[in-house]
Structures are given as C-alpha cells and as structure tokens.
Amino acid sequence: MAKSFGAYAATYMAAGITPFYSNLFSTGVLLLFVAINLVGASMVARAENIIVIINLSALAIFTVASLFYIDPTNLAPREAPAAITIFYALGLTFFTY
C-alpha cells in the first residue's frame, strides 16, 4: 500500500514520478503508521470515538434543520426526476463512501 501511495503522490511533484519521490512518500506513509502504533491503540480509539461523535452530531443537526424545508409536493411520483438522474446521484453517493 505504501509503495502504491508513494507512486501516486509522486505524480503531483514537478519532476514527475521519480524513484526518489516515490520512495520518500512511501517512507512517509510507513512512518505515519509506525507513529500511530507507537501512540497506542487506546488513544487512537478514543480519538476515533470523538470524530464519530462529531460526525453524528453534524448529521443530526442537518437532519433536524432540513425538516423545516421539506416540500411535500416534491415527494409526488409525478414530479420525480428521470431515472438516469437518480442513477447518477446513486453513483456519486456510492463512490463518495
């Protein structure tokens, strides 16, 4: 994984993909994972729990706020968008997650 990320990250350098940049970024990824392991699983788990709570709070706020802007006429089948539009939206959602 680190080697493929290093090659990918090297494409954004001005000199292009060179062994130096590829290896530099690969080493950086490995050092990042080593640092995470040195910190300890309990600290990482605690940080991840905090991030999940923040994400769920933001989703809850947006959900409650959107309840005030629902227009029931938009839910009628006759007003539904074309099937291809729905598939485009599904594709974007799938690749986002």
Residue 1 reports pLDDT greater than 80: no
Tokens matching residue 71: 């227009």
Chain centre to alpha carbon of residue 59:
15
Report field, pTM of the whole predicted structure over 0.75? no
Q: Can you give 40-63 as a three-state secondary structure string?
A: CHHHHHHHHHHHHHHHHHHHHHHH
Per-residue pLDDT reduced to its tens digit, 50-88: 999 999 999 999 999 999 988 887 777 776 778 888 888
pLDDT at 11: 84
Distance CA 43, CA 40 (A): 6
Instruction: Report the pLDDT value the prediction gives residue 53, as an integer from 0 to 100.
Output: 96
pLDDT digits (tens, 9 = 90+) for 6-28: 888 888 888 777 888 889 989 99
One-letter amino acid at 31 equals: L
CA 89/CA 29 separation, integer angstroms? 33
